[in-house]
Structure 1
Amino acid sequence: MDLRSATADIERYTLPRFLEADNISKMVSASVAASAYGIEIPRLQQTLMAMQAPWLDTLHIEQSIRGFVELQAIGQALNTLDPFGERLTTALRQGLGDMRDPITWTPETISDPTARTSVYIERGFQAELTNFPEEAFEESLERSGIIIEPPALVVRYSCPVPPSDNPELEAAFARTNVAHDWLQRFETYIRSFIDKVMTGAFGPNWMKSNDPGGLRDAWTAKKRKVEAWSGQDRPLIAYADITDYERIICNGKNWAAFERFFVTKENARESLQRISGPRLGTMHARPLTAEEVLFLQVEMHRFIKLTER
């Protein structure tokens, strides 16, 4: 997962027990992230001191604490703030980078994790968020509350190749890497979400009346090919991919149905844009970076919380 060289210098990472507790508290309280996300300082301090895996970079103590604090702050915020409200959206943009403008992914960039990371840093991603040894990064994600249970597989919306009816399906999911498992489940979840919202707003024939330009024809062609050999029926939207979701959600006629969830169109676009890089890397069998794991966990967390509205 983590392609950086942190493990080569593992000896320089430690637990912060050699620092006085009041010094740690001062650094945490002074953190920009603490005020940006509106987090609970005592809870964050407890998490910081409870870590088991060495995470504090003794050569860059302030940057290390700043990154750890922001990672924990993101987790607290995801679990307490409106997932697409202005406060969380603005704060995430400061830490994860501004992804509102489209990214042009070239074959060379897709195949090179370092090149993808450069794209994220150019957009403003703060490198200290993931500048930890792999074990510490994974533990900090778990303690932060960023990671939640993956969405259930919505079989009706899986696509374009239908899943097996074999009872070992879940075992097969477990054998895939975590990111691929999440993406498979997430895409069935978001297709189901879009279909439910659009049907509620425009009726069951929304794909005819609210097609944002040629999507229905493209999905129909895919559906015919798959059904010819599989014999399994799926709704048309099961043949959509991540670039289609934005076109549906942000379309002029459709936006009224989604505004209460995403608040602004740029919020929806930016969230899907953050997912696009990790998705391309995963689907092209390329290793993911720590940054991409963080993007996936944060943005899927936000989408899953939409169902609470």
Structure 2
Amino acid sequence: MATVRLVPTVRRRRLGGALRRLRNQAGVSIDTTAEAMRWDPSKVSRIENAKAHMPIKEVAPLLAHYGVTDQAVITALEGLAKDANKTGWWTTYGDVVADGYRDYIGLEEDAESAHIYAQGLIPGLLQIGAYAREIIAGTAPQLTQDDVNALTEIRKKRQAILTDASRPTGSLKLWAIIHEAVLHYRSAAYPSLMRDQLRHLLDMTELPNITIQVMPREAPAHPGMVGPFHVVRFPEPWPTVINLENIRGGYFVEGTDEVKAFESAFELIRAAALPVPGTRETIKKIMEGSPE
């Protein structure tokens, strides 16, 4: 297994970014902050850039300096400071986990819900192991077999958040809209692959926190035709994050206007997709035509 690189955790980056935004909103300079906190000015910059640890006991005084009195915000930032240096389970897999994927898993771990439009693949959180292994190997031919096995294992471990009620936000609430064409995939090496995968999708629709819709081939034009995306939501006060996927991995979109555009797009996609009962019937029909 590759050596794990020491990099700032996504929680530390989120904490630093939040503190920078609050400082800027308050109109306070780095030097003024450092003087008030009795820090070296470089410490403020290093914390905001995720290069230094933020002591939990100093979160409230720092926020008071910025004029933040909302207890929910203070508690949320203290919680993030507490967990900022914890490394996620995925770091044990080393460099096989690309930086963008590493960040996404970190966000997913803290998320309250995820709305996904999937155009070419079954979403990772809903994939069975055999499907995940075949898709990973086929879409990233440069990977070794060991890498494929590791990424398949990671994908399965991620799925624990769908049933882990002990998470601070409870089991992840997932709303996945999957294009019908994805359900007709055929595997030459594993003829019954899609039958097993489709049966798994039906099983997942039984969970109260999971909603699955199929986008029919004859659907009218909708924003999802431009490409797949994830809308990842968090408890207050954390902002929603958009994840866009491409052949090189993925990248994040933040900012109120950008996020609202994708949230609105998802609602239009949802309206164009089959309702849940129709989705189940479509999946069953396709499954019945799949090889045993």
| TM-score band w.r.t. shorter chain | under 0.3
In terms of fraction of residues, the more strand-rich structure is 2
In terms of fraction of residues, the more helix-rich structure is 1
TM norm structure 1:
0.24
